[in-house]
A and B are shown apart, each in its own frame.
Chain A
Amino acid sequence: MSGLKSESNFEKLLAANQFVVTGELGPPKSADSTVIREKAGYLKGRVDAVNITDNQTAIVRMSSIAAGTIALQEGVEPVIQITCRDRNRIAIQSDVLGAYAIGLRNILCLTGDHQTFGNHPTSKNVYDMDSIQLVRMLKDMRDEKRFACGDEIRNGKNAPIVEPRIFIGAAANPFADPFEFRVIRLAKKIAAGADFIQTQCVYDMARFKEWMKQARNKGLHEKVKILAGVTPFKSVGMAKYMRDKVAGISVPDYYIERLSAAEDKAAEGINICVEQIKELREIEGVAGVHLMAIEWERRVPEIVERAGLLPRPSVK
């Protein structure tokens, strides 16, 4: 296949117009790699790539590049998440060079949760750049073969240019405010150079469809691959927590009612998730789903199977 930007299998599948599935793997809060290998085992062969979170909710975990490398050894293709909270342009570019050299091919650029949410609320944040500027910086590294300062990516005057050829992603949250700005922000991410987009988990289908319509009206779905986010509810408590406590997520009450009425809450949560995936698949411009089964990776095989997404296609 020609015209590819990286050597990412994930990119190849999207380029071949396959309906892709990505998963999510949260690195451990310790130096224990067995957790990563175990989670990777549930995801391997069931999803096309796996996001490795970067100290999500500002709680210290193993670095996304290290955990991603272990996941890669286990046979899953990682999407390394990088937030703007903890590193400046020097550290991020350095990490991107390292990530590429190790064999990591996909990076998702995020703003990052504020440190007040996590377990080190007294720390200093960085925010040298925002996620859109981060996308641009990675694109310039890949396509212009230059660092943010303008220097060429080479070890010396006569050394070869070896740039990190990364498949670049960004997030989108159709449920945050101001709603009218959300598609503008998507357009800015695309203009900055995003190749793919993963959205916040979709529960409010009506609002998501409206957002997709706005995106289609601007032709954005043809410029970028949009993966809709889904997260299965494990319990009524979790659904309520997502509704009340998580900024930028909207959970309609009828899901809470449906879960409350169900005998087996977890099974009903998975039923809902499977239905959501099927519904999302029908929406024009949705190129795949991003399945964030938070600390529930072991149920991923069942979800993708029941959503009719197995077997996963292989890359030519």
Chain B
Amino acid sequence: MIVAERKPFDEILSMIGNARKVLILGCGSCVTVCMAGGEKETQLLASTIRLSDKKQNITRELRCATIERQCDKEFFAAVANDVKWADIIVSMACGVGVQFCGEVFTDKEVVPALNTKFYGATVEQGVWSERCVGCGDCVLFKFGGICPIARCSKSLLNGPCGGSQNGMCEVDPENIQCGWQLIYDRMAAIGRLDLLEQNQPLKNWSTGRDGGPRRVVKEDATL
């Protein structure tokens, strides 16, 4: 899923500025799972804004709504009236949802309440971690199913750098596991260390972000 986290409150407040009718729009998919922008979080943000407004003597109306997905146009119809009412939409979706919201409601200002972080998974209660950067040419089969591009701080393809120590990465030995130690251990466990002895040539990055904004077209699904 896409993992995101809420922006600092003051930043959100400054984006809202003088808008007096604010629609806080949650998303029921990834960001609900990672507890950043689901229904619960829209309520939480609304009450924080109310509290702050009260302190500052600001009169402002807030509405909360959450749709199933903000990355699919069809779900926005459910909130069309709220949008019409609002001066501004604070989208609690990932960056994709925020942009799509603006593409549907072209005459409204839409601001992001979240910082979109990565494609990842829940590793323990309340902890998410990155697994993929969408390089567009998956090479997981060469590395025992552990991605060196996403999980090595330097995206190295031929083995660990000199900074790998006790399973941790030099970039943050407290918090970041060395992706290459993980790859090595996994390859040893499945008896495929031989794969790691092969020299990996230069990667073609043009299938990723470096090739410019991407599009996928599935011919048999187009109208």
Q: Which residues of A contact B (CB under 8 A)?
A: 84-85, 89, 111-114, 116-117, 125, 127-133, 136-137, 148, 171, 173, 175-178, 180-181, 184-185, 187-188, 191-192, 200, 247-248
Q: Which of B156, B162, B201, B205 contacts A176 (CB 8 A)?
A: B162
Specify which of B159, B162, B185, B203 is in contact with A184 (CB 8 Å cutoff): B159
B7-39: which have CB < 8 Å to A?
none
Tell me if B122 is interfacial: C-beta within 8 Å of chain A. no
CA distance A40 to B182 in the complex (A): 43
Contact of A132 among B158, B164, B193 (CB under 8 A): B158
Inter-chain CA distance A131–B193, complex, in Å, is 20
**Chain B, Cβ-Cβ closest to A184:** B197
Extra contacts, 16 of them, besides A128-B202, A128-B205 (Cβ < 8 A), are: A84-B154, A85-B154, A111-B154, A112-B154, A114-B154, A130-B157, A132-B159, A133-B202, A136-B202, A177-B166, A178-B160, A180-B184, A184-B196, A185-B159, A187-B197, A247-B164
**What is the minimal beta-carbon distance from A210 to any residue of chain B, in angstroms?**
17
Report chain B residues within 8 Å CB of A133.
157-158, 200-202
User: Which residue from chain A places its CB closest to the CB of B163 in the assembled complex?
Assistant: A247
Contact, CB under 8 Å: A125 / B158? no
Query: Hey, which chain A residues are within 8 Å of B202, CB to CB?
Result: 89, 128-129, 133, 136-137, 148
A58 nearest CB across to chain B (Å): 11
Q: CB distance A176 to B163 under 8 Å?
A: yes
Q: By the criterion CB–CB under 8 Å, are A185 and B160 in contact?
A: yes
B154 touches A132 (CB 8 A): no
Contacts of B203 in A (CB 8 A): 129
- Establish whether residues B181 and A178, one from each chain, have CB atoms under 8 Å apart when the complex forms: yes
Instruction: Collect the chain B residues with CB atoms within 8 Å of residue A131's CB.
Output: 158, 161
CB pairs A–B below 8 angstroms (17 shown): A84-B154, A114-B170, A127-B154, A127-B155, A128-B202, A130-B156, A130-B157, A130-B158, A131-B158, A133-B202, A148-B202, A171-B162, A176-B164, A178-B185, A187-B197, A188-B197, A200-B162
Residue of B nearest to A137 (CB): B202
Complex CA gap A136/B156 in Å reads 15
Interface residues of B in 125-158 (CB under 8 A from A): 153-158
Interface of B is mostly: loop
- How distant is B149 from chain A, measured CB to nearest CB, in Å? 9
**Assembly CA distance A155 to B160 (angstroms):** 37
Distance of A175 Cα from B165 Cα, bound (Å)? 9
- B178 located at the interface, meaning its Cβ lies under 8 Å from any Cβ of chain A in the complex: yes
Q: B residues within 8 A CB of A136?
A: 199, 201-202
State in angstroms the CA–CA spacing of A125 and B161 once bound together.
Answer: 15
Q: How near does chain A come to B182, taking the closest CB pair, in angstroms?
A: 10
A148–B205 alpha-carbon span in the complex (Å): 14
Determine whether the beta carbon of B167 is less than 8 Å from that of A177. yes
Asked if residues B165 and A247 are in contact (CB atoms below 8 Å), the reply is yes
Q: Please, which residues of chain B bring their CB within 8 A of the CB of A137?
A: 202
B154 adjacent to A248 (CB under 8 Å):
no
A184 to B172, CA, bound (A): 25
> Are A177 and B154 in contact, with the CB atoms below 8 A?
no
Residues on A with beta carbons closer than 8 Å to the beta carbon of B96: none
Least CB separation from B194: chain A residue: A184
How far is B161's CA from A173's CA once the two chains are assembled, in angstroms? 8
Give Cα distance in the complex from A279 to B180, angstroms.
Answer: 32
Taking a contact as CB atoms under 8 Å apart, the answer to whether B165 and A188 are in contact is no
What distance in Å separates the Cβ of B193 from its nearest Cβ neighbour in chain A? 8
Contact, CB under 8 Å: A248 / B164: yes
Contact B164 A178 (CB under 8 A): yes
B78 within 8 A of A: no
Are B164 and A192 in contact, with the CB atoms below 8 A? no
Asked, given contacts A130-B154, A184-B197, A188-B199, whether A176 binds B161 with beta carbons under 8 Å apart, the answer is yes
Query: Contacts of B165 on A, CB cut-off 8 Å?
Result: 176-177, 247-248
B162 / chain A contacts, CB cutoff of 8 Å: 111, 171, 173, 175-176, 200, 247-248
User: How far is the CB of A124 from the nearest CB of chain B, in Å?
Assistant: 12
The minimal Cβ–Cβ distance linking B163 to chain A, given in whole angstroms, is 4
Report the Cα distance A111→B197, complex, angstroms.
18
Q: Which of A128, A177, A184 has the most CB of B within 10 A?
A: A177
Q: Is the CB of A116 within 8 A of B158?
A: no
**A116-B171, A133-B202, A191-B199 as given contacts; A177 in contact with B160, CB under 8 Å:** yes
Q: Contact at B161–A178, with CB atoms within 8 Å?
A: no
Q: Which of B163, B172, B180, B184 contacts A248 (CB 8 A)?
A: B163
A139 to chain B: closest CB distance in Å? Answer: 11
B contact residues around A173 at 8 Å (CB): 162
Contacts of A112 in B (CB 8 A): 154
C-alpha gap A176/B156 in the complex (Å): 15
Q: Which of B172-186 contact A (CB under 8 A)?
A: 172-173, 178, 180-181, 184-185
Q: CA–CA, A173 to B180, complex, Å? A: 15
